[in-house]
Amino acid sequence: MNTVTDRFVSICILALALLLGVCTPAMAATGDPLEAPYIGATIFTQPGQTREDQEGWFRTLKDCGMPYCRLRLDEMQMHKSDGAWDFKLYDTAFELADKYGIKVFADLYPKEIGDWRLTKFPQSKANLQEWAEYIKQVVSRFQKHPSLYAWALQNEPGSYGKYPQSDLSNELMASWRAETEKPTYNSKGYTGSGGLDELRFQRYFMSWYLNWISLQIRQYDSKHELHVNTHDLYENLPDYDFAAWRKSITSLGESCHPSHHYAYFDRPQYPMAISLNCDITREGAGNLPFSVTELQGGNTTYSGDHELCPTKEEITQWIWTSVGCGAKGVVFWSLNSRAVGGEAGEWGMLNFQQQPSDRLKAASIAARELIKNKDVYSAAKPLVAPIYLLYAKESFWMEQTKQGHPGDATASEGRLAGGMIKSIAAWYETLLENGINCYVAEMQEFNWGKTNHAGETIILSHQLSVPSQDWERVRQFVKSGGRLIADGLTFFFDENHFSVMQAGFPLEDVMGGSLEEVFTKRGDFSLMLNDGIQLPAHLFKGSLHMTTGKPLATQDGVVLALSNAYGQGRAIWIPSMIGLGARHEGNEALSKFLMKELAPNLANWPIRFQTRLANLLMRTMKTEFGYLTIIVNKSTDTKRVPFLLANKNLKPKILFADKGGTVAGQQARIQPEETMVIEWKSNTLWNSNRTHDYHH
């Protein structure tokens, strides 16, 4: 919409939709919503609900243009104490889903036993057989329904490194030890693994169990999708062996509950945290689709780690951020509040009169936009720069084992569990504030086998354990033209808790030197680079023994940062926590450093901000004819957004703006808390149906 009149009409339509309550049959969306990224919500079933209750919820989803739901198939509500099975509650739910055309994620939920963290696993061999019978009963019963879309193998696997000790786990542990190939590297003769074998086995056990569930389902249903959703990603990430999971599922999901999962972030950072969550999940999914299986939709009064009721603006931000990351869909937790038990009276998007809240109305508006322009959104794919924020599961484990007092409020943040993922998030946020999207993945997921890595950048932020199996991969990456940036205590340990620098740093030729010492400076300090950029840093200040490298920063004759040319590439080593420093002091200095380093590789990048814009993030997608940009303004001010376009012929058109934002030429104007979706196409394509691919 390029004219003032068009924008006025659009705003009037949006206001009318809000006035009418959005979710009314008269305003039902046109077209097939299943072709576009979908929006849905969980319908929480409990004994005591009437058929009329359930019918009202399914009708509401249809009226809101939200064609997916999730049902938790709770064994406690269908398996009676005398051994009989009573499916009446769920028979009704599936019949109504069929009637209203709502696709169902059926969430397998066997009877819980004991500690909820341990119920992510079978408790014994006998318990495994009980769960096999539950799966047989449920899958055989409901796989015939047209509404069934997918089986969710398990709700939110991830147990914070814990698993139950039992006859089953002991047998699997013995088998795992026997089958695991003995590593050729032994930390140069220093013994001990730092207790990491238990954590490695727990990761294996989780993957084994998910595969077992998928095999059970396939005995009775060979056609429906198989799905699983992660949770509390920033703490449970080392539990998740995505490469193994991909053999057991057909799509990957995630739970994104700010009140539960984002303790490491402030509220204005929640869209960034969701974006990072989605990017990690997308890379973990590989070639499989991914979705947001649970997104917080309502208030947490007594549940959650802290109280939180999302605003309608936040609901909009979280939806579009997820879509911009490539999510196939977003399902809210939940449409209705449960009546009894944990979370009773919480999380719902309907009020207690079963009328749509402003949050549900906002979700419906986004859902209708996705359906209205489904041809654009269904074909759009995330556009990601060749910048890779890589993490090692061993770094998570090392951080957890090194942290002896996790509840110590007086400890420096860099010493606490979470320092590593917060460091990654600071680099990630800095890139987003420049309008640049990057990859975030486990080191094993990176394509190390290429012969030419020119134009690619790997960032290892405070990866205090880089396993020996990756040393030669890193060497070949830089040698073949890649740029490596390492900060914090990256390379400090190997996979066995061995302090690598004690016996000769194996990557000294690549990095241009070795670590000399690490000093602790409580709180934050400044690190002055030779080019005048003053980087804030936190807690750890490393000095370097220089061999082939050139100093990037020195103080009193001590080298604090190095740059080293190696083969066709370059390595930069700053052994201070500049990620956490930026998190505390602001991202401006880190942005200057990073944009200077990346400038040669971003010169022809299609769309980004002309300069860093604090508290704004932008997701970019490639479409058939051009691009989509999704911008969220988390600042308290109206922002002028100047774009840097590689193709000056690209012209913008607003598809969605929930507060009347505008765009003209190469500049947008966006209100506080606003979300804006802009389509960019060449002049010659706005009035043409010809296919042309702007490939970069």
**Dist. CA 249–CA 284, nearest whole Å:** 12
Q: What is the mean pLDDT of residues 64-84?
A: 96
CA–CA separation, 633 and 613 (whole Å): 9
State mean pLDDT over 503-511.
96
Which residues, listed in sequence order, are joined to residue 109 by a DSSP beta bridge?
74
How many other CB atoms sit within 10 Å of the CB of residue 479?
15
Whole-angstrom distance, CA of residue 495 vs CA of residue 469: 9
Reported as a single tens digit per residue, the pLDDT across 449-465 is 899 999 999 999 999 99
Model confidence over 380-400: pLDDT tens digits? 999 999 999 999 999 999 998
Selected residue with higher pLDDT from 48 and 689: 48
Place of tokens 């354990």: 465
Tally DSSP H helices, then E strands, for the chain: 19, 27
d(CA 546, CA 541): 16
**What pLDDT does residue 373 have?**
95
- Per-residue pLDDT band at 33 (split at 50, 70, 90): low
pLDDT band at 692 (very low <50, low <70, confident <90, very high): very low
Model confidence pLDDT, tens digit, residues 535-554: 999 999 999 999 999 999 99
User: Can you tell me the distance from the alpha carbon of 561 to that of 543, in angstroms, rounded to the nearest whole number?
Assistant: 8
Specify which residues 662 forms β-bridges with. Answer: 669
Q: How confident is the model at residue 684 (pLDDT cuts 50, 70, 90)?
A: low
Q: What is the pLDDT of residues 118-143, one digit of tens each?
A: 789 999 999 999 999 999 999 999 99
pLDDT over 90 at 355, yes or no: yes
pLDDT band, residue 194 (cuts 50/70/90): low
Residue 425: pLDDT band (50, 70, 90) is: very high
Among positive and negative, which fits the CA dihedral 423, 524, 436, 512?
negative
What is the rounded distance in angstroms from the CA atom of residue 45 to the CA atom of residue 54?
8
pLDDT at 614 over 70: yes
Domains of the chain, CATH where assigned: 4-181+195-377 (3.20.20.80), 387-602 (3.40.50.880), 607-685 (2.60.40.1180)
d(CA 38, CA 371): 8
Query: Is the per-residue pLDDT at 30 higher than 50?
Result: no
pLDDT beyond 70 at 25 = no
Residues 629 and 668: beta-carbon distance below 8 Å: no
Tokens of 435: 């309008």
What is the rounded average pLDDT of the residues 484-497?
96
Query: pLDDT of 205-257, one tens digit each?
Result: 999 999 999 999 999 999 999 999 999 999 999 999 999 999 999 999 999 99
535 phi, psi to nearest 5 deg? -90, 130
Average pLDDT over residues 70-88: 96
Give 418's strand partners.
none
Half-sphere exposure of 394 (CA within 13 A, CB side): 24
Percent of the chain topping pLDDT 70: 92
For 250, half-sphere exposure in the C-beta direction (CA atoms, 13 angstrom radius) is 14
**Which pLDDT band, with edges at 50, 70 and 90, does 621 fall under?**
very high
Closest CA to 254 of 162, 359, 161, 325: 325
Q: What percent of the chain has pLDDT over 90?
A: 85
Residue 402, pLDDT score? 84
Look at residue 290 in the predicted model and tell me its pLDDT: 97
Instruction: Name the one residue in this structure whose structure tokens are 């249809």.
Output: 62
* pLDDT at residue 71 tops 50: yes
- Provide the pLDDT for residue 534: 98
Measure the N-to-C terminal CA separation of the chain; round to a whole number of Å: 27
What per-residue confidence (pLDDT) applies to 689?
Answer: 36
The residues near 56 (Cβ < 8 Å, ≥ 6 apart) are 354
Judged against a pLDDT cut of 50, whether residue 1 lies above it is answered with no
The rounded mean pLDDT for the chain is 92
pLDDT at residue 442, as a whole number: 98
Token pair, residue 235, equals 């703490």
pLDDT in tens, 144-179: 999 999 999 999 999 999 999 999 999 999 999 999
How far is Cα of residue 518 from the mean position of the Cα atoms in its chain? 32
Which pLDDT tens digit goes with each residue over 553-609?
Answer: 999 999 999 999 999 999 999 999 999 999 999 999 999 999 999 999 998 999 999
- In this predicted model, what pLDDT tens digit does every residue of 260-297 receive, in sequence order? 999 999 999 999 999 999 999 999 999 999 999 999 99
pLDDT at 174 (0 to 100) = 97
Range 70-74 average pLDDT: 97
Helix extents (H) in 586-644: 588-602
What is the distance between the alpha carbons of residues 369 and 372, in angstroms, rounded to a whole number? Answer: 5
192 vs 174, 204, 464, 497, 691, CA distance in Å? 19, 20, 17, 8, 60
Which pLDDT belongs to residue 193?
60
